[in-house]
């Protein structure tokens, strides 16, 4: 974690507007406003405006949305010229990505949307990054699962555009047959009885309609039957340099296939106390996650092209029984740094917001 400078960018300027793109519609935007209070309050003397795609008037280069009042801590509806810098917090379809690249270029933070398969395709080309990736296939038809599990005994089935552990299945095979585990609507694990190949194909065909899925090698992330993974928070600062803001850990419920419904802890503390690593082992893995995460962030921007800006990320890591590190996911739509508060890490949360505010301000006001 890096300490933030005392002098905040924006204290001496009143120029420009920062936009926060939150949702497709005004209705959804309004529901999410309160979640933006802490980020909006992190800006100094510059106008902050939350808006939706519905509020963008392309021809006039105007947006309609809510302007934040620091003194009253409330949002007021307004119309404004297109901001000079925008923080994106939602998935953008290609037409919108292209629009904002034309109008804002790299002054939109997180201006590229990519899915799990695209991440794997791009990073696996490099021998360096490939060593940190679980083997992944793109599922083209349900029978691919049979081939994968026949070879590797078990696999995760994940929607390429899913997040927060939603829509994930696990298929395993042993001498008795196949078993499928998933998470139901109440976030509780649900397992089938043993079924045959036809049962697997029928189940997947029913539950994987109209979406694209990947098949992924199962990494043993369990400690005392609970899944444990790690979240590295990366944010660019006012000089456009990446900063490692902090490491968090998530510990899921017993026997679950994802960690998202469990508790959140300080990352280093979890390495020492949950994974029972020595001080040297914990420091080494903590440092490795930082180095790999920073390299991954830079590499993904390279793939995105000269206008790509991924200035606000949360990278999920897994560590297996042999202390081998794996990159599980890159959270770039809305990394939700608020999870740091669940670990009691107010300093990490505040630092992430302050860095992001300073970076966006620098983009808006220039040098």
Give the CATH number for residue 67: 3.40.50
Domain presence at residue 9? no
- Residues 285 and 276: their CA atoms lie apart, in Å, by 13
Cβ atoms of 285 and 211 within 8 Å: the answer is: no
Q: How does residue 6 score in pLDDT terms, banded at 50, 70 and 90?
A: very low
In the listed set 217, 243, 259, which residue is the last one of a domain according to the structure? 217
Please, what is the average pLDDT of the chain? 91
Domain presence at residue 93? yes
Share of the chain above pLDDT 70, in %: 90
In the listed set 184, 217, 250, which residue is the last one of a domain according to the structure? 217
- Residues 25 and 83: their CA atoms lie apart, in Å, by 18
Residue 1 confidence (pLDDT): 46
The number of folded domains in the chain is 3
Listed in sequence order, the residues at least 6 apart from 307 whose beta carbon sits closer than 8 Å to its beta carbon are 101, 105, 106, 111
| 156 and 54 in a common domain | no
326: containing domain: 122-131+221-365
Domain presence at residue 11? no
Does residue 209 surpass a pLDDT of 90?
Answer: no
Chain CA centroid to CA 320, Å? 21
| 95 and 43 in a common domain | yes
- Residues 330 and 313: their CA atoms lie apart, in Å, by 7
Structure tokens that stand for 301 in this block: 């921007």
What is the distance between the terminal CA atoms of the chain, rounded to a whole angstrom?
26
- Residues 313 and 293: their CA atoms lie apart, in Å, by 10
| 226 and 192 in a common domain | no
| 207 and 227 in a common domain | no
Does residue 28 surpass a pLDDT of 60?
Answer: yes
Q: At what angle do helices 197-207 and 143-152 cross, to 10 degrees?
A: 130
Residue with structure tokens 């904002």?
100
Residue 167 confidence (pLDDT): 83
| 235 and 192 in a common domain | no
| 201 and 55 in a common domain | no
Domain presence at residue 117? no
| 183 and 90 in a common domain | no
Q: How does residue 192 score in pLDDT terms, banded at 50, 70 and 90?
A: low
- Residues 179 and 171: their CA atoms lie apart, in Å, by 6
| 255 and 126 in a common domain | yes
| 75 and 46 in a common domain | yes
Residue 193 confidence (pLDDT): 74
**How much is the average pLDDT of 343-354?**
98
Q: How does residue 4 score in pLDDT terms, banded at 50, 70 and 90?
A: very low
Domain presence at residue 45? yes
Domain presence at residue 116? no
Closest CA to 28 of 62, 58, 54, 47: 54
Predicted TM-score (pTM) of this structure = 0.91
In the listed set 188, 217, 246, which residue is the last one of a domain according to the structure? 217
Over the stretch 264-321, which tens digit does the pLDDT of each residue have? 999 999 999 999 999 999 999 999 999 999 999 999 999 999 999 999 999 999 999 9
Domain presence at residue 8? no
| 212 and 253 in a common domain | no
């Amino acid at each position: 974690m890096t300490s933030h400078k005392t002098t905040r960018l924006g204290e001496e300027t009143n120029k420009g507007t920062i936009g926060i793109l939150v949702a497709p519609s005004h209705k959804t935007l309004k529901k999410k406003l309160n979640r933006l209070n802490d980020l909006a309050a992190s800006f100094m003397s510059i106008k902050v405006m939350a808006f939706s795609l519905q509020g963008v008037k392309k021809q006039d280069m105007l947006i309609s949305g809510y302007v934040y009042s620091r003194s009253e801590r409330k949002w007021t509806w307004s119309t404004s010229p297109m901001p000079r810098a925008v923080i994106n917090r939602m998935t953008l379809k290609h037409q919108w990505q292209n629009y904002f690249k034309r109008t804002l270029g790299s002054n939109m933070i997180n201006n590229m949307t990519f899915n799990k398969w695209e991440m794997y395709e791009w990073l696996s080309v490099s021998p360096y990054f490939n060593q940190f990736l679980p083997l992944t296939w793109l599922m083209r038809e349900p029978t691919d699962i049979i081939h994968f599990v026949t070879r590797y005994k078990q696999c995760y089935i994940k929607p390429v555009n899913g997040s927060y552990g939603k829509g994930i299945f696990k298929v395993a095979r042993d001498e008795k047959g196949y078993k499928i585990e998933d998470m139901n609507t109440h976030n509780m694990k649900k397992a089938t009885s043993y079924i045959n190949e036809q049962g697997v194909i029928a189940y997947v065909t029913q539950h994987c309609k109209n979406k694209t899925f990947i098949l992924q090698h199962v990494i043993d992330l369990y400690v005392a039957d609970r899944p444990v993974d790690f979240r590295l928070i990366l944010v660019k600062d006012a000089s456009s340099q990446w900063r490692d803001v902090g490491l968090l850990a998530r510990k899921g419920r017993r026997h679950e296939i994802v960690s998202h419904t469990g508790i959140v802890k300080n990352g280093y503390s979890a390495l020492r106390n949950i994974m029972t690593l020595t001080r040297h082992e914990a420091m080494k893995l903590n440092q490795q996650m930082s180095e790999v995460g920073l390299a991954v962030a830079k590499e993904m921007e390279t793939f995105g092209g000269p206008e790509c800006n991924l200035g606000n990320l949360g990278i999920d890591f897994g560590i297996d029984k042999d202390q081998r590190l794996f990159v599980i996911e890159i959270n770039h739509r809305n990394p939700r740094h608020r999870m740091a508060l669940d670990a009691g890490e107010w300093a990490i949360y505040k630092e992430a917001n302050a860095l992001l505010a300073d970076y966006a301000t620098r983009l808006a006001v220039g040098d």
